[in-house]
Amino acid sequence: MKRTHLIANGVVFVFFLFMLIHAFGLHEIRRFGEVGSGFWPLVVLSSATILSFILLIREWRSKGGEKEERSEGNEGDSGGNRIKVFGSILCLLFYVIGMPFVGFILSTFIFILFFIFVLGERRKWILALSPPLVTGLIVLVFGKLILMPLPKGVGIFADFSRLFY
């Protein structure tokens, strides 16, 4: 677990360092008598880089917290739920990517079905009823009452969406 924290803090440090290097390119872009566009980024990013470096060093040196963190990590792992997290992340990713093509109704319907299944829901009546009910309610409120222009999708999916909003 300590290794994970070390890698994470390393990523944070590298991120700020990369942005700091990029910020040096902005420094000279300014009008006469003005503080340049790069001044504030340099102040913020150099502070962030220094502090994240200190955090990295502290993490490297700390040995006492290792046991505690390991036990915390085991607790999380014992649930065996990393797959659920990964699955729910993927569900949202496909939902967001698919929505412009398939339209809001169909993508939401499929998303709910897969998402609740990934979270461990196995009751058939919930699996059967919740996707149409939740989708219907949301389309009614946001598509019909508030008239929010929800994505309709393309081609045949757009024709399908137009039947509802």
Partner 1 sequence: MIEHYLTAFSTIFLPQNLLAICLGGLWGLMAGALPGISTSMGVVLLLPFTYAMSPITAFTILVSAYCGGITGGSITSILFGIPGEPSSVPTVIEGHSLAKQGRAAYALWVFLLCSIGGGLFSVFVMMGATPLIANFALRFGPPEYFALTILGLSVVSGLSGGSILKGVISALFGLFLAMVGTDGITGVERFTFGTSLLLGGVSFVTAMVGLLAVSEIWIEAEEPFKEYKEASGYKGMRKEFPKLSDFRKNLTNLIRSPIIGTIVGALPGAGATIAAFLAYGEAARTSKNPEKFGKGAVDGLMAAESANNASTGGSMTILLSLGIPGSNTTAMLIAAFMIHGLQPGPLLLSQKPEIIYGIFVAMLMANLFLLGLTIIGIRLFLQLTRLPYSVFSAAILILCVIGAFGLNNNVDDLYVMFAFGLIGYFMRKQGFPIAPAVLGLVLGDLAELSLRRSLLLSLGNPLILISRPISLILLCGAVFSIIYPLIKKPKALKGV
For partner 1, the closer of residues 12 and 158 by Cβ is 12
22 near partner 1, rule: CB under 8 A: yes
Among 52, 102, 103, 152, binds partner 1 (CB under 8 A): 52
Comparing C-alpha atoms, which of 119, 115, 4, 5 is closest to residue 52?
A: 5
Q: Which alpha helices (H) appear in 25-103, and where do they start and end?
A: 39-61, 65-78, 82-102
Contact 50, 43 (CB under 8 A): no
Crossing angle, helix 104-118 and helix 124-138, to 10 degrees?
Answer: 150
SS3 category, 146: coil
Among 102, 103, 105, 116, binds partner 1 (CB under 8 A): 116
Q: How far is CA 149 from the centre of its chain?
A: 24
Among 17, 95, 136, 160, binds partner 1 (CB under 8 A): 95
| Min CB(161)–partner 1 separation in Å | 14
CA pair distance 133, 105, nearest whole angstrom: 11
CA pair distance 142, 87, nearest whole angstrom: 27
Among 14, 40, 66, 132, binds partner 1 (CB under 8 A): 40
Among 106, 110, 136, 151, binds partner 1 (CB under 8 A): 151
Give the residues lining the site for partner 1 (CB under 8 A).
5, 8-9, 12, 16, 19, 22, 26, 29-31, 33-37, 39-41, 44-45, 47-48, 51-52, 54-55, 58, 62, 64-65, 76, 79, 81-82, 84-85, 88-89, 92-93, 95-96, 99-100, 108, 111-112, 115-116, 119-121, 123, 126, 130, 134, 138, 141-142, 146, 148-151
